[in-house]
Structure 1
């Protein structure tokens, strides 16, 4: 029985309805397998039009005037800056005799990349992206260091775009070489062993509308240092399939180029290999069928180790000898277990296997024949990641975090197998005042779903606490315990932070992921709704005090759920969401998501499933929807901002109650990656001001 089915739709009846900027409607329809679908805001897909700019400016003005009524906004801004103002490091990576890492002194817009000779050397600045632009919106998106530590290839992204430019910096002098590579996207840089050049990925330069145009025919190129990009050599492409994404990596010994090929966002991939010692050697399709994931771990000569989901949805480790590549010769070294094997490396000729056990880290050390040596003792429930380095290294570094522990770096001595604290942030709050528990609840179909719930110790379960429910549920991405200064502030304000592990994510392996894809996407929404119902039924919060939030695929999640259950939520924050599920494949890289969502214009069954939940197409005029804040960036070339524009206009026009429907459009911002700290703080404070106003939540002073 649905315990909250009798709750009426929430509406701030004492507050007069807002007057929204006029959004022109047009007579436009499309036919999908005999179903006529209207699209009255199609004109908003022209994101550079003067008419749209006028509408966006008016919407931003309305949103800011509404949030200006929250008296605690300045207090939250000050406290959040205090909580974020601590030193942050990444785990160091050794190249030759040099160690490389990033550091933020506290309130810098972008992390600074440093290098030093040995672990005790003096730190020197390699790259400071804070000097790239006055507003901090130019960020480093990729970094690759040569094997000897002498050169660094780095990519920069402007205003959050996925398009990047590659540059090369001499580490010792700190000066850039003349080399520049443009029109690269979804790419790393893979150096040759001698540092004479690197492999990268990109597309042909778009003829027009780089922000909007669809990207097809991903390619691998080689750039030789000292030559213009026009002379870069095309190394690998797949003209037989425009939707394949390709990638390249050079093995640690420098012998082989490993080439990946995957369809859209499917985790499954093919593998090809080229022997770099033989200049004319052919590219050999080692694994020609994308029937599972195949992730190279390392190699010893012609013997390769792979992490794969072949006949093992939770992952296993196999070995393949290039001299005998037939499947009957493949050997399983670490068999599949009940826990998802999410990552693995080889340090000191020892496997370091990172598992997810109910969405938290479990680390095992195993010999190269797969035998368990021991489990690494971690400081607490949380997430451990890193464990990088070369196969012959005798040390490695890893970072540990959870909801109340910022990234703390440990050094692991592989000879003694002992972890020692390497760097620990100094905090301006007391983690001992908070607690995290993991609960399990049943979804609509009985599936058992885990959820982390964090709050101040001593919380009284009477349903009066404001709660923030955040999830993602897609693309095989796991949501793990991770520190956020914003979530700490929310808990300081008396709030509850809840994070469920929905189907569609990567917490339990490929079977868990597939259970939330294509025609089964409704499972994800059911899991999320059940999480909300559990929090209410167990008196952690109440419907009028419960806010939901998600970004990108998570923006789709919360929008779909607010439309399906408007009675269940007191506020909704939908960030950079995929809202027009019938046209997501028409812009930039959206076509790649067909592997996850299905093909609405090509498959009748998938269209039918998508049409039932697509946020833009399930808004009903006259319904009283919860208070909603929609956010996007004007330069988002991942989830095209028209998704949010069209959804906002349609929801505002349909709203039958007086709850506000607002949109916040960030300027010179993309999908979120590389956003300067100042903009992230402003965006978070605006979101929290919205929640404080709608949920009648406390402030950091309470």
Structure 2
């Protein structure tokens, strides 16, 4: 249920140079690294002695002075190196220009009011607005840019009462996963005294009468443990407006199973609370229904067992709709009559050849989003599953949204691609007509860029898709171009087309951008995910390595011109393939990565990841993990690509100690002349909520670094 992902980007100009960047007169050899103390910690597991000399770097940088000093010294060296990179300032200027366009979030309609976010271009955080009526005058409700001088406090989520009178919103500070929840009166803009803390990985949903809201929280942590302690014993509460959090009513918990997480959603008719429980990142859920009209009644266990993915779509009276992979690895839509659950499930939309990504119940129709080779396709069905047509999309891209209530006649959706920023459409459910609601004006011509899909063969013969984006000039020339290859490969996460100003700048400069849809993701359903996790994890690395080989073999990129990038689980990917094939890549960026595969489950959300990685304390899993763990497999004496590790001090999803230890191991080894550096952001987390200015600075640093070692010329 809790997934990891991150994107980044970068550059400007016309044509790429194949000449090595060092020929430009820059000293790009590895600088003198700060000294890192090596300890004598050795763990013996299953007869194997595992050295962990940098365990002390796991300590919280906000608490441990030695770690804070190490971070300061590392940043000083890295910043000095990045400052002398050729073309960095021109790159930053172009990324800023490409970022400076008006952006809108999807509207939510409640009580005749339309709520949406808008960013005027370079605001650090998007602002929440409301309109009275579809074409009403916008009125500002929340400007998070006023919350912190550094812009690092974000509006993370919000929910509105059915009558549109009250706004429930979550505040995220410094990129942390923790949320503080508050309530606003929409008419006056007054913030009420209601405040809820210790909220994380939670849905937020109002009672239908607006008397209060449901949320999930963890127990308060001890002093100094907020950003590292394991997250256990999540509980669902109801907060009644006008009361203190200490008076909130406990709705659901499983104290005998502290590893379970619980999120709650109010049914469309307001009668039921749908509680979804999970134990990890796998989509294996247990579903309980709580009768809100009879709070004394025992919960109705609708889906037992944690065996399958059952995701609530909506309900019409006693008829509840879910998507599931039970007997359908590519997903299907089912319904059940909760007045007679013993009669079982009825298939509404059967499994198809395409992967079903999600379904909405709006206007008494089912709107289904399919993935066709990682591209969006939207189809509409009647409540009985009868096909009623397709929502036409502008091309290769990603569509999302289609939220609303069963009786509403309108919904909104977004569409974006690698060369097209998000456009928001209004969709009339009855007529099937789409109209543009908000379309950005951008500082480039989308038709100047070519988006293609390629297929290549992995080590074991598996056919893997890849998106490839180049300027039309580069694509039509047929010449090899420095290429940035991005991947993730885990947790059933599908990489679908999306817009990034920084990646577009890289392409404008004459580079190519490729996204490999490797196994471990969800592009082709459960089987694709299963083929890239646990003892199949090596397939992920093989797929990514094969993607790099394909780009070189096809003449898309020169042999010394391939850079790689990935974040979170994708950071693990970069670290693992750099160890396994250091000869293949010129440079890499491992962002907020999971780097110590023997201790990932010791911190914050790490315990959930055993579904994808396995249990370090089980011998079979231990041996699999040790074989590819980036921290434990740095190959001394090999010529490595230039590596820039990036993380942040407030990342409480993948704690920064992973990146700290991995970097220390890299710098302690003899890896050739190219540098292995770490860039540590302050007042930032795993990626969400990052201010625009920090995002631009980080993207400029990363892509200027990758360009310098792949031969991409950023000079004007």
Q: Name the residue aligned to 2:415.
A: 400
Q: List runs of 5+ in structure 1 lacking aligned partners.
A: 1-9
Distance in 2 (CA, whole Å) between partners of 1:349 and 1:46 is 53
Alpha-carbon shift at residue 523 of structure 1 (Å): 0.7
Which of 277, 280, 293 matches 1:264?
Answer: 280
Which of 459, 467, 483 matches 2:483?
Answer: 467
Which of 345, 357, 361 matches 1:330?
Answer: 345
Q: Name the residue aligned to 1:152.
A: 167
Alpha-carbon shift at residue 300 of structure 1 (Å): 1.3
Alpha-carbon shift at residue 578 of structure 1 (Å): 0.3
CA contact (8 A) 2:646 2:678 kept: yes
The correspondence of residues 626-641 of structure 1 with structure 2, limited to 5 A, is 626-641=641-656
Q: Is the aligned partner of 1:376 residue 2:391?
A: yes
Q: Is the aligned partner of 1:648 residue 2:660?
A: no
Which of 427, 434, 446 matches 1:412?
Answer: 427
Distance in 2 (CA, whole Å) between partners of 1:257 and 1:307 is 18
Alpha-carbon shift at residue 700 of structure 1 (Å): 6.6
2:273 counterpart SS class: strand
Q: Name the residue aligned to 1:670.
A: 685
Which of 506, 529, 534 matches 1:490?
Answer: 506
Q: Name the residue aligned to 1:32.
A: 45
Alpha-carbon shift at residue 655 of structure 1 (Å): 2.9
TM-score (structure 2 length as normaliser)? 0.95
Distance in 2 (CA, whole Å) between partners of 1:319 and 1:146 is 27
Distance in 2 (CA, whole Å) between partners of 1:87 and 1:15 is 38
Q: Name the residue aligned to 1:21.
A: 34
Which structure ranks higher in relative contact order (CA pairs < 8 Å, sequence separation ≥ 6)? 2
Q: Is the aligned partner of 1:179 residue 2:187?
A: no
1:566 counterpart SS class: coil
The correspondence of residues 343-358 of structure 1 with structure 2, limited to 5 A, is 343-358=358-373
C-alpha distance after superposition, 1:408-452 (max 9, x if no partner): 011111222111122110010111111011011111111111000
Distance in 2 (CA, whole Å) between partners of 1:291 and 1:383 is 29
Q: Name the residue aligned to 1:236.
A: 252
Distance in 1 (CA, whole Å) between partners of 2:205 and 2:137 is 28
Q: List runs of 5+ in structure 2 lacking aligned partners.
A: 1-19
Q: Name the residue aligned to 2:562.
A: 546
Distance in 1 (CA, whole Å) between partners of 2:467 and 2:637 is 36
Which of 58, 80, 96 matches 1:45?
Answer: 58
Q: Which moved more, 1:635-644 or 1:43-52?
A: 43-52
Which of 620, 626, 634 matches 1:619?
Answer: 634
Output the aligned Cα RMSD.
Answer: 1.5
Q: Is the aligned partner of 1:499 residue 2:512?
A: no
Which of 38, 59, 73 matches 2:88?
Answer: 73
Q: Which moved more, 1:71-80 or 1:336-345?
A: 71-80
Q: Name the residue aligned to 1:425.
A: 440
1:411 counterpart SS class: strand
The correspondence of residues 30-429 of structure 1 with structure 2, limited to 5 A, is 30-47=43-60, 48-208=63-223, 209-326=225-342, 329-429=344-444
Q: Which moved more, 1:46-55 or 1:400-409?
A: 46-55
2:661 counterpart SS class: helix
Alpha-carbon shift at residue 78 of structure 1 (Å): 1.1
Q: Name the residue aligned to 2:704.
A: 689
Alpha-carbon shift at residue 329 of structure 1 (Å): 2.7
Distance in 2 (CA, whole Å) between partners of 1:161 and 1:176 is 23
Cα 1:641–1:366 shift into 2, 3 Å: same
Q: Name the residue aligned to 1:439.
A: 454
C-alpha distance after superposition, 1:543-597 (max 9, x if no partner): 3110000000000001100100000001010000000010000011101101111
TM-score (structure 1 length as normaliser)? 0.97
Q: Which moved more, 1:409-418 or 1:129-138?
A: 409-418
Distance in 1 (CA, whole Å) between partners of 2:36 and 2:193 is 48
C-alpha distance after superposition, 1:221-244 (max 9, x if no partner): 111111111111111111222211
CA contact (8 A) 1:403 1:481 kept: yes
